Chains A and B, each alone.
Chain A
Amino acid sequence: MTDVSIEDDGVPSQEVEDVELYHATSWLTKYVFSQDAKVIAIQYACTAIAIGLVALVLSWLIRLQLAFPGAIPFIDANVYYQAVTMHGMIMVVYMLTAIFLGGFGNYLIPLMIGARDMVFPFVNMLSYWVYLLATLILAASYFVPGGPSGAGWTLYPPQAILTGTPGHEWGIILMLASLILFIVGFTMGGLNYVVTVLQARTRGMTLMRMPLTVWGIFTAAVMALLAFPGLFVACVMLLLDRTLGTSFFVPAIVEMGERRDYSGGSPILFQHLFWFFGHPEVYIVALPAFGMVSDLISVHARKNIFGYRMMVWAILAIGILSMVVWGHHMYVSGMNPLFGFFFAVTTLAIAVPTAMKVYNWVVTLWRADIHFTTPMLFALGFLITFVNGGITGLYLGNVIVDVPLSATLFVVAHFHMVMGIAPVLVIFGAIYHWYPKITGRMMDERLGKIHFWITFLGAYAVFFPMHYLGLVGVPRRFYEMGETAFVPHSAVGLNIFMTVMALIVGFSQLIFFYNAFKSLKHGALAGGNPWRAASLEWQTPETPPGHGNWGKQLPIVYRWPYGYSIPGAPDDFLPQNAPPQRGEHAT
């Protein structure tokens, strides 16, 4: 049975030592060069959202070109491919990874496990500043000769570093330098998340009493520490190929009629390194989202998450399996075709633990007490888009089905649904959910709901039909389709429809920003625990929590974080740190 027992108090005798905190003495060290995980979290989140907005605008350029080819004078092939490349890289790395791990990880881990701060606060601060530098260097590539790289977000050599590719002069160098820095910064942050979870949990917070949010972020951080080095070496080697003329990835080639000085390299080696990072990256984004959505559903359905232990094991199984599936991005890359058997089996095997998570979320709703709050709506929207995008993964993972679909819009639709829309819905849900803890005020529910419906239905209307263009065979990464007999004329209308929806969804985000800024001052006062949630972060003595989170004494944890509607308990939730009550049973 799940760990709600209170035998021996349920509290391990060993105490976590209280850490000595660095106390900020000036405005600058308190709010700018802060070593408080909560401030760093906000810095991370704001930077990620800011650069994410750049990527959103770039996505409009892409969609406008696809719907109205050539109609907008300044979108030429260069601009288009640069937009595609920067949009992809920013969204996957600089926005999603940064906001989930740097943003939510920093804010939630210490609060949810009852720690005062991250274990290495100074390294934590450095992590943010290196991330900011990486982001600025990436953004700077818009201001160098030739503009940013237009190599496609996968940066496949040899094309990424050769003429005939936008930004091959400066853009690609800045891109690689920025990625290298990002990974350096992330490693500092990631070590903090892992060590903090392992070492700084408060009394009674056993691993099996951690909220699934922490499990998701923790596992993702471990995976990232294992996967990012693959990208790191790939970037270093590609940078050397570009600047010093080494030939790690470039064989002997003739480019535009001229023999180049490269010889002996392997373009496929880069793909292995890239996807050794790139596939786990999908789950580095997904696992924190999984965790957070579990908490949102549980709180707002007033029900314990169903099958907690299965959820934990599923997170770990997904984490481990995701490290051995990278080759499914390379089925038609020319690698040894026998690998297809191995990678198809491991890829489809991930479907089992992932499906278990989906079932457990849905079964959590069974016999629940569902409140349709904004965070709950976003969690439900996530469920639908994630299931939709997840099952199309079965098409692309099953090697032979992937053959006709690879490199078409089907792939674009699939990954936008599963790792674009689904995690972004969770991010919004999580912001609406934890905003009261961060600011002490509620966000406006009415505006939140309007924001949700436009975002969810609009994004679904963009990416669901896109699968069908992929089925027809419309390739991705085409600046213009031109006259092509196998694409029916009706695709033009569909493209216009998708673009209009994308514009609407994009602009509707203004509702969110208006709500977030307005509520800072004018939102209803939240109190410490407005959602009546059981997990630890809602039980801080102050809201927003002060420096060190817990005042004089660290909390003691007696049970799991999903104590909702426990039979015999007077309230419909029982905080993790509430002393054991009479009538509380091991079942």
Chain B
Amino acid sequence: MLVAAIMALVVVASLLFHFLSPWRPTQIASNWGFIDDTLALTFIVTSIGFVAVVLFMSYCLYRFRHQPGRRSTYEPENRRLELLLGGITTVAVILLLAPGLSVWGRFITPPEGAMEVEAVGAQWSWSFRLPGADKHFGSTDVRFIDTANALGVNPADPRGRDDLIVANGELHLPEGQPIKVLLRSIDVLHDFYVPELRAKMDLVPGMETYFWFTPTKTGQFEILCVAYCGIGHPQMRGTLFIDSDSDYRKWLAAQKTFAQTRKAEAF
């Protein structure tokens, strides 16, 4: 009796916690509302399952608790019931999977003409690179990395000279413009994470990864690294500024090209 009640209370308390808790996803600031929608759908479908199973269990515990003279019913199988339950579950799984996969399809396909930005991780700081006036990144290699060239841009590649190097961990992007973020690490695994964007991806040394998003709100957001990258991992922070067009242009104009940073270093 008491056991049944407590088990049912666990469900009630869980639901209350869900509705009353102040801990909600951050306000979204990108085009990935679809992700939030899929998450919401998942919450609904799975909560129904959880509540139904545990409440049914609690009912059984109450109704069929041992009492003098009780004997259980011998019922090894019930094919119809099993097929029915299996069918419902399959439908629920498809209901979750179909929208999930379709959103994933969008997630991995950046729109044509998305603006490219490179984020580079190193223990334990963020740097960024923008392609400059020619809209092309210069090639890179860890062989070229030194104090004057922290991102390893190939000095011999003409496309790299006008690349803008942002070494202070502060990235500015214009609102409303689809952005394809190219990710590169020069030492260990890192992960570019801004909770408000929803999108995230690992930075893997030896290869280039990517993700894309369209910022939908101006403001200032924290960039965290969420792939464990050693003792300084929690300190690896950056800031993402989503600017209006004019603010963005102002910021852009103040950035140094790769060629300029080389010259400055030479003096």
Contact = CB atoms under 8 A, between A and B. Distances in A.
B71 A365 contact: no
B265 to A, nearest CB: 15
Interface string B210-241: 00000000000010101111111111000000
Interface residues of B, number: 96
Interface in B151-203: 152, 183, 186-189, 191, 193, 195-196, 198-203
Contacts of B267: none
A73 interface: no
A388 B75 CA distance: 27
Interface in B42-69: 42, 45-46, 49-50, 53-54, 56-57, 60-61, 64-66
Interface stretch (B111-119, B127-135, B142-150, B254-262): B142-150
Contact of B64 (A250, A366, A383): A366
B12 interface: no
Contact of A484 (B24, B86, B222): B222
Contact of A164 (B107, B193, B232): B232
Contacts of A399: 100-101, 104
Given A404-B25, A472-B25, A344 B222 contact: no
Given A253-B205, A352-B86, A400-B104, A362 B60 contact: yes
Contact of B71 (A158, A468, A572): A572
Contacts of B235: 482
A566 B74 contact: yes
Interface residues of A, number: 117
Nearest to B14: A464
A469 B232 contact: no
A380 interface: yes
Given A78-B231, A356-B89, A394-B42, A408 B226 contact: yes
A77 B234 CA distance: 10
B209 interface: yes
B193 A471 contact: no
Contacts of B222: 484-486
Nearest to B60: A365
A565 B25 contact: no
B19 to A, nearest CB: 11
Interface string B71-86: 1111111100110011
Interface stretch (A124-132, A302-310, A426-434, A499-507): A302-310
A246 interface: no
Contacts of A255: 123, 187-188
Contacts of A479: 233-234
A301 interface: yes
B189 A267 contact: yes
Nearest to B188: A159
A510 interface: no
A518 B85 CA distance: 45
Contacts of B7: 380, 384
Interface stretch (A286-294, A332-340, A575-583): A332-340
A480 to B, nearest CB: 6
Interface in A248-274: 250-257, 259, 265-268
Contact of B231 (A166, A362, A400, A408): A166
Nearest to B106: A400
Nearest to B197: A404
A565 to B, nearest CB: 4
B204 A259 contact: no
A465 B61 contact: no
A267 B78 contact: no
B82 A407 contact: no
Given A159-B230, A465-B17, A363 B81 contact: yes
Given A306-B76, A348-B93, A395-B42, A384 B54 contact: yes
Interface string A448-461: 00000100010010
Contacts of A387: 49-50, 53-54
Contact of B23 (A162, A309, A471): A471
B191 A407 contact: yes
B118 to A, nearest CB: 15
A204 to B, nearest CB: 18
- Which 3 residue pairs across A and B have the least CB separation, nearest first? A251-B206, A473-B195, A164-B230
Interface of B: 3, 6-7, 10, 14, 17, 21-26, 32, 34-35, 38-39, 42, 45-46, 49-50, 53-54, 56-57, 60-61, 64-66, 70-78, 81-82, 85-86, 89-90, 93, 96-97, 100-101, 103-105, 107-108, 122-123, 141-143, 145, 147, 152, 183, 186-189, 191, 193, 195-196, 198-207, 209, 222, 224, 226-235
22 contacts: A1-B76, A162-B188, A251-B206, A252-B142, A266-B206, A303-B73, A306-B76, A332-B200, A341-B101, A355-B86, A356-B86, A362-B57, A368-B64, A368-B73, A394-B42, A394-B93, A398-B100, A399-B100, A403-B200, A464-B17, A486-B196, A564-B74
